[in-house]
Amino acid sequence: MSYYLDQNQREEIEALRRTFAGRSEWPTWLLLIGVYGAWFGVLLASAWLGLWLSTLLLIPIVVLWMSVQHELLHGHPTRFTSLNKLLGYAPFAVWYPYTLYRDSHLLHHRDEDLTLPGRDPESRYVSAQQWQGSSVFERSLHWLNKTVLGRFAVGAPLALLALAKEQFQRLRQGNRQAWLMWLTHGVLTVLMLAFIARYSVVPVWHYLLLISVPALSVAMIRSYYEHRPHPESQKRTVLNEAAWPWRWLFLNLNLHLVHHDLPGLPWFYLPQVYRVRREQWQARSGGFLVRGYGELLRQHGLSPVDSPQHPFS
């Protein structure tokens, strides 16, 4: 358990882990069943629901699925990595194989590297060298990606282009692990799309472009201002006191510092742990507090939240 916790905090968290919910993780099991059931249910009922209502329902279901995958890779609801992988490998979100997301995200949890380009795989900053070598158009896209509306509009396409460039290079180099991962993911994705084409009124192209990409765009809002450059690593991670729809979609990851400090704590205990010692968490974050995604939209809908260039990378 994290070294900075005092004895009372350690005892409080251990008490949570000894509860029935903490030991069984039944909320996560229920969530897994619910997301699988909702995805299949909406598609099977899509002829009755209609294309566009099905679309409006599937987008948040896919967003929630990505949040569920995040729980799985952190060791929930079981301690068995292979079982969690099996539970989370369904390609509902299409673009990121589960194992790629898992391995990349666990590297992101090296807090001493947070935000550093080339070291943090989830960094949204560029180094001084990259900035100097970029074109005016590329710089404009980076600045646009630093606004909330720009992030929603171009964040997903930029991320997918970066993914394609990186993974194509691995495949071209003959990386065996990459080939096995993408072949497995590809087969499962083809099977999923065949199911969609056979049992729903949702066209395959529609699912790919108008469901999975918008879902990724919504998920990008969570990570829009999760981290900032700061000399002290614990002060790089946000506490976002978001409203309930966002907390549900993102499984309380808006309280991101609590998650980074206690990555083994299940999603349903993050708000409780935060509320009990709210002032201490805020002091630990160095005042890196956002009062909901609405505040970010009002202040940074069209205004960059900070510079794309990392200040000390």
Given this model, what pLDDT does residue 2 score? Answer: 53
Q: Is the pLDDT of residue 50 over 50?
A: yes
Please say if the pLDDT value at position 313 is more than 90.
no
Q: What is the mean pLDDT of residues 71-85?
A: 95
Using 50, 70 and 90 to split pLDDT, how confident is the model at 7?
A: confident
Q: Tell me the pLDDT of the chain averaged across its residues.
A: 94
For the cut 80, the answer to whether the pLDDT of residue 3 exceeds it is: no
Predicted local distance difference test score (pLDDT) of residue 1: 46
Using one digit for the tens of pLDDT, what is the confidence trace for 172-221?
999 999 999 999 999 999 999 999 999 999 999 999 999 999 999 999 99
- What is the predicted pLDDT for the residue at 15? 85
What's residue 61's pLDDT?
98
- Secondary structure in 3-state letters for the chain: CCCCCCHHHHHHHHHHHHCHHHHHCHHHHHHHHHHHHHHHHHHHCHHHHCHHHHHHHHHHHHHHHHHHHHHHHCCCCCCCHHHHHHHHCCCCCCCCCHHHHHHHHHHHCCHHHCCCCCCCCCCCCECHHHHHCCCHHHHHHHHHCCCHHHHHHHHHHHHHHHHHHHHHHHHHCCCHHHHHHHHHHHHHHHHHHHHHHHHCCCCHHHHHHHHHHHHHHHHHHHCCCCECCCCCHHHHECEECCCHHHHHHCCCCCCHHHHHHCCCCCHHHHHHHHHHCHHHHHHHCCCCEECCHHHHHHHHCCCCCCCCECCCC
Over range 82-93, report the average pLDDT.
96
Q: Tell me: the pLDDT tens digits for 264-300?
A: 999 999 999 999 999 999 999 999 999 999 999 999 9
**140-153 pLDDT tens trace:** 999 999 999 999 99
